Amino acid sequence: MNNTISSASLPKMYTYNVEGQRVSVTLTKNPFDIDPQILYSLAARQNKKRGFLFVSKVLGKHVPVDPFIPLLAGSSLAIQFMAKIHGVNHADTPAIVQALKTNEDTRKVYEAVLSKPRFVLPQKTLFIGFAETATGLGQATFSSFDNAHYLHTTRDQIPLLPAVLDFKEDHSHAVNHRCYSVDPELLRNPETIVLVDDEITTGNTALNIIKAIHAKFPKKNYVVLSLLDWRTKENRANYQQHEQLLNVRIHTVALLEGEIEVSGSSLNERREQGEQRNLEVESDIAKDFCVSVEQKLLNLKDIISFYSLDSNGNPSLAPYLGLTGRFGLSSEREQEILPLAKGIGEKLKLDRSGEKTLCLGTGEFMYFPMLISAYMGDGIKYHSSTRSPIYPFAKPDYGIQNRFSFTSPDDEDLNFYVYNIPPNYYDEVYVFLEREVSSARLKPLLQVFAELKMPRLVFVIGSSIETPEDKV
């Protein structure tokens, strides 16, 4: 992928060729002076509604990263939020930004942040992270605050608990979002709602949830936090119109701001017109490679005993974990998560058998595995499986080098993907599942790691239907 850069002063233009589609980014705000290539690359999206994707390098989703990097990305959004909205600066801001830029001293910087008092918000505030990509980023951001709660949207269907919100992400591969809460006052009490996403292009998804919230739980203040903000002047004017229409204030905060311009036909359009290309990366991987498989049941006690339904109406009976934010989480309960994750991580560190270890979250289950992974020692890379289909090409600077697909352990009608895992590279992989599933439903994922020639596969499971003694 080729990119050209204009003069050093803003606005600065970057032009990317995404498999025939030209995406031009005019950068207008860069408060931390971060080179964009540190935060993202681009790839062709397998989606008729939008033919390209900004692939985050700091999110822990599509690209394997040092697990402290997405934690610090959340910290960077928190400090930018406090500086821009409340005029409060954080002493560790230069160190956080430098760690993001260099990928060095990440644990030292993160623990220095933890040693400082958390931001005390002047108003009760609810942070909402968008599923599935920003569930981890949202919780990493929220963890910097007191006097706050966290909730993330979900695509899951939970029949015995009515959704408090239901809205759509129009351009997505999976448009329906829901919010569930075990606390009926979770959306009623906060005076400010903060929405956290990795990227906003038009900003319409944020407006959709704001309208859904405002119809049932009217607020005066909304904030949209994102790593990247690419809204056009028209999109920004649309926000101003909604502010007037709803009689609210909508603030926006991002690490990078600019506008994008797209020209040319996307790969999706050309394929519809008959262009045929081999989109999977060829390799010499052996389908019958023998993988050593282990399971470790955490059997965590903080559970929410609601079952979910898959696409065919079949129930998944293992309980959810209460520490993910899917059902709401307070600042006080959030403080219990780090020591728990750190303790599990240190035990799993002793269990490791290799120097290069991949830790993989699954779907919406990102933040807690990320924290555990951060304390499993050196040589750890972390990212997560995803429902987002992206075209893979083994090209320099292209965001998705390879991909492997499998049916979801929770829903056999849903395809999931893992990206950017080189064959014959890692010594082992730890796959984190929020809830126990049958061995049969793990076979498609097991086949992926056989293809990748992964010698050792460990499933780390948060909860089960039964409650045997802890194994970790």
Residues 169-181 pLDDT 10s: 554 444 577 999 9
Instruction: Give the pLDDT of residue 125.
Output: 97
pTM: 0.93
Is 96 exposed, middle or buried (CB count within 10 Å of its CB: 0-12, 13-18, 19+)?
A: buried
Please tell me the distance from the alpha carbon of residue 273 to that of residue 398, in angstroms, as a whole number: 24
Mean pLDDT, to the nearest integer, of 119-128? 96
> Whose CA is closest to 78, among 93, 66, 67?
93
Residue 468 has pLDDT above 90, yes or no: no
> What angle is formed at CA 472 by the lines to CA 112 and CA 335, rounded to 5 degrees?
35
Average model confidence (pLDDT) across the chain: 91
Q: How far is the CA of 221 from the CAs of 67, 87, 263, in angstroms? A: 32, 16, 36
Percent of the chain whose predicted confidence (pLDDT) is above 70: 92
Please tell me the distance from the alpha carbon of residue 243 to that of residue 223, in angstroms, as a whole number: 12
The kind and range of the H/E element at 309 are strand 308-309
Q: Where in the chain is the domain with CATH 3.40.50.2020?
A: 58-258
Please tell me the distance from the alpha carbon of residue 342 to that of residue 376, in angstroms, as a whole number: 8
Report yes or no: 247 and 279 within 8 Å, Cβ to Cβ: no
Please tell me the distance from the alpha carbon of residue 348 to that of residue 368, in angstroms, as a whole number: 14
Q: Match domain 58-258 to its CATH number in 3.40.190.10, 3.10.20.30, 3.40.50.2020, 3.40.50.410.
A: 3.40.50.2020
Instruction: Give the pLDDT of residue 100.
Output: 97
> Whose CA is closest to 175, among 47, 65, 292, 81?
47
Q: If you search the block for the tokens 């992206």, which residue do you land on? A: 390
pLDDT digits (tens, 9 = 90+) for 346-357: 999 999 999 999
> Whose CA is closest to 167, among 119, 215, 126?
215
Neighbour-count burial for 267-294, b at 16+ CB within 10 Å, e otherwise: bbebeeeeeeeeeeeeeebeeebebeee
Instruction: Give the pLDDT of residue 111.
Output: 97
Report yes or no: 41 and 1 within 8 Å, Cβ to Cβ: yes
Q: Both tokens of residue 208?
A: 């959709």
End-to-end CA distance of the chain: 44
What's the pLDDT band for 46 if we cut at 50, 70, 90? very high
> Whose CA is closest to 203, among 176, 222, 230?
230
Q: Which amino acid, 429?
A: V
What's the pLDDT band for 281 if we cut at 50, 70, 90? very low
CA 205 from centroid of its chain's CA atoms? 16
Task: Name the β-bridge partners of 459.
Answer: 295, 431
Is 76 exposed, middle or buried (CB count within 10 Å of its CB: 0-12, 13-18, 19+)?
A: buried
User: Rounded to 5 degrees, what are φ and ψ at 382?
Assistant: -130, 140
Please tell me the distance from the alpha carbon of residue 106 to that of residue 361, in angstroms, as a whole number: 20
Coil, helix or strand for 457? Answer: strand
Report yes or no: 462 and 434 within 8 Å, Cβ to Cβ: yes
Instruction: Give the pLDDT of residue 90.
Output: 95
Please tell me the distance from the alpha carbon of residue 298 to that of residue 365, in angstroms, as a whole number: 15
Please tell me the distance from the alpha carbon of residue 347 to that of residue 184, in angstroms, as a whole number: 37
Q: Which CATH architecture has domain 292-312+331-463?
A: 3-Layer(aba) Sandwich (3.40)
Residue 168 has pLDDT above 90, yes or no: no
Report yes or no: 466 and 296 within 8 Å, Cβ to Cβ: no
